[in-house]
Structure 1
Amino acid sequence: MKGVLLVNLGSPESTDPKDVKKYLGEFLMDERVIDVPYWFRSFLVKGIILNTRPKKSAAAYQKIWWKEGSPLIVLSERLQQKVQEKTTIPVGLAMRYGSMSIKKGLQELYDKGVRDVQLIPLYPQFAMATTETIVVLAEELRAEFFPDMKITDVPAFYQKPEYIKALSNSIKEYLADKDYDHLLFSYHGVPERHIRKSDITKSHCKIDGSCCNKPSPAHEFCYRHQCFQTTKNVISELGLDENTVSTSFQSRLGVDPWLQPYTDRTIVKKAEKDGIKKLAIVTPAFVSDCLETLEEIAMEGKHEFLEAGGEDFYTVPCINDNDEWVDVLSGWINDFNNN
């Protein structure tokens, strides 16, 4: 019997600093998130970050928490429910971190008789800290607990025309009645070393401004290329003026270089130096609105833009449980079921 497991990032159980600390501990101790030797990662996370960051993060979560719970969880559950209505095989939902674990999700499918699983990481672009950590953990769990289960993962779907169309239409619909001067595509940041580590050619990715535009097998696993390509695909789909669109990266941690340009600095620059008064931002690295979109962009980003002299700031919602996105996902699942 076939079945599907949708997997998103995860969330703390509540906005209590203790729950946030537990969640951050699991997330940041992942060797594909902070990819340094275990002893140093443990010292950094347990000795420093978890002694300072949970209270600050808890306060941020409190700003965006819904009555139903974590926005990311609630939106992911709505997506799962809508997709389930459009397919005849079981559709499960799991999170890479937190109590809604991948193991629990696989077990629930297994108990329903599922032995052939389509694993769908809910990330349009491939990255070590997102897609790869989900796929690797799922295989480890399969080998240890579900040896008679087969798992096939869906690769990064940033290039799929049906996804680009759904994303583009969601942007077009939201901004239809908005007057804006510039559209900024803000993607989640990763350390530059992640890009080099993911380079299967071991020589192509130089992060020099040109390598992402040169054809290479490395692009299959290059987060930076896939982000810029997503922007290009949407520009093409919507017929946008390239001079009114740009790309940036948010959420950096530590002192090592991360992908640039940085979103927070870009937001300020657009207002202070480029004279942009009306800015719209879309966040295509996320399919579900979460802390990074609802607080970091919609609240902090707006504050920074207005402080720098901007006037109007619009945050395009993620595709969440958008009906067209639901149709895209259920279409992939039905194709899997029929093959």
Structure 2
Amino acid sequence: MKKGILLVNLGSPDSPEPKDVKKYLGEFLMDGRVIDVPLWARTLLVKGIILNTRPKASAAAYKKIWWEEGSPLIVLSERLQDKVQRQTEIPVGLAMRYGSMSIHKGLQELVNKGVGEVLLIPLYPQFAMATTETIVVLADEIQKEHFPNLKIESLPAFYNDPEYIEVLSQSIKKHLNGKSYDHLLFSYHGVPERHIRKSDITKSHCKIDGSCCITASKAHQFCYRHQCFEVTRLVGENLKLREGTFSTSFQSRLGFDPWLQPYTDRTIERLGKQGIKNMAIVTPAFVSDCLETLEEIAMEGQEIFHEMGGKEFTTIPCLNDDDSWVALLAKWIKNWA
């Protein structure tokens, strides 16, 4: 049976214009694993409020980071796909969870090439309901409805894979390029605290109390919070970072429910107030730079830091199409194939 790969990333509007942003946000926010409330409440919130207020502001943010070639997330994902394809003989497809580059289209293209078995690679190091799970569940639904003879496997979360940690660590080291810094902040995409409890397969371990994430448990296999803190810890060990010179935070909260803390914007503000002058920040929840990294962190985060008296704000790029990351993906693919 011919094998193939489908890389899957988040997605992007087709353009930074409000109408395209509204369409994209509608699909994204109506996902029950992103806003996990009953359909009637989600519809009221998204279609009744958010889509009538947010698209214009989001479009302005997208315009700040949009490249001549298109959406940075899409362009960078396509570069990654191209480089990985050069290192393997089996077909490598690319799809997005939201937007016009759909998973259905990606699977169809592979099937058209004679592929009967697919390795689905969600481009997220950590497992989360709103990222990995929604990709895997949708791919399964599409397979059952449209491609009943297609076999699909999924690459598990690779947050603690030693080779991934080495690639991430060396990328951080390379982009710091010997620059001195007072603090290195690991900022991860935020999720509501209830997502952590919902993903707890033990139904009892995750209490988000400061100790559960460092106490061994089967729950860690699907615990986004644990996996984020673990990436920070493992990279800290790899780079021999001194205690107190690095920390973890979470960005991009939405609504009024409790989200994972500490919050990135408040952490940047606090560090500036404490007298930190040289700060570096890395975003390991993503493998490709996107709106959250290029606008929320590199622009808004830097502005907050400077307002608080900080001087040097260094944003470390995501892995993107880094050659070592490409080689590692190609190795995983060859091992599977």
Provide the TM-score with structure 1 as the length reference.
0.99
Alignment of 1:9-48 (within 5 A): 9-48=10-49
1:56 match: 57
TM-fit CA distance, 1:180: 1.0
Query: Is 2:85 the partner of 1:84?
Result: yes
Deviations 1:7-39 (A, max 9, x none): 000000001000000000000000000000000
Counterparts of 1:298 and 1:242, CA distance in 2: 25
Query: Is 2:102 the partner of 1:101?
Result: yes
Residue identity matched to 2:290: C
Query: Is 2:291 the partner of 1:311?
Result: no
1:324 match: 324
Alignment of 1:253-268 (within 5 A): 253-268=254-269
Residue identity matched to 1:133: T
Query: Is 2:198 the partner of 1:197?
Result: yes
Counterparts of 2:13 and 2:123, CA distance in 1: 18
Counterparts of 1:336 and 1:155, CA distance in 2: 12
2:121 match: 120
Deviations 1:119-176 (A, max 9, x none): 0000000000000000000000000000000000001000111111110000000112
Counterparts of 1:106 and 1:124, CA distance in 2: 22
Counterparts of 2:312 and 2:231, CA distance in 1: 25
Residue identity matched to 1:79: L
Counterparts of 1:269 and 1:187, CA distance in 2: 17
TM-fit CA distance, 1:242: 2.1
TM-fit CA distance, 1:178: 1.7
Counterparts of 1:170 and 1:192, CA distance in 2: 30
Alignment of 1:69-218 (within 5 A): 69-218=70-219
Paired-residue identity, %: 74
TM-fit CA distance, 1:101: 0.1
1:336 match: 336
What number of residue pairs does the alignment pair up? 336
Counterparts of 1:168 and 1:179, CA distance in 2: 16
TM-fit CA distance, 1:179: 2.1
2:300 match: 300
1:2 match: 3
Counterparts of 1:171 and 1:10, CA distance in 2: 25
Provide the TM-score with structure 2 as the length reference.
0.99
SS of residue matched to 2:153:
strand
Deviations 1:169-223 (A, max 9, x none): 0000011232211000000000000000000000000000000000000000000
Segment of structure 1 superposing worse, 189-198 or 232-241: 232-241
TM-fit CA distance, 1:88: 0.5
Deviations 1:285-319 (A, max 9, x none): 00000000000000000000000110110000000
Counterparts of 1:239 and 1:327, CA distance in 2: 24
Residue identity matched to 1:125: Q
SS of residue matched to 1:310:
coil
Deviations 1:53-73 (A, max 9, x none): 000000000000000000000
SS of residue matched to 2:331:
helix
SS of residue matched to 1:309:
coil
TM-fit CA distance, 1:336: 1.0
Residue identity matched to 1:68: E
2:286 match: 286
SS of residue matched to 1:259:
coil
SS of residue matched to 1:3:
strand
Structure 1 outlier segments of 4+, above 2 Å: none
Counterparts of 2:234 and 2:147, CA distance in 1: 39
Counterparts of 2:70 and 2:166, CA distance in 1: 30
TM-fit CA distance, 1:327: 0.3
Alignment of 1:197-276 (within 5 A): 197-272=198-273, 274-276=274-276
Residue identity matched to 1:236: E
Counterparts of 2:242 and 2:3, CA distance in 1: 44
Residue identity matched to 2:44: F
User: 5+ residue gaps in structure 1?
Assistant: none
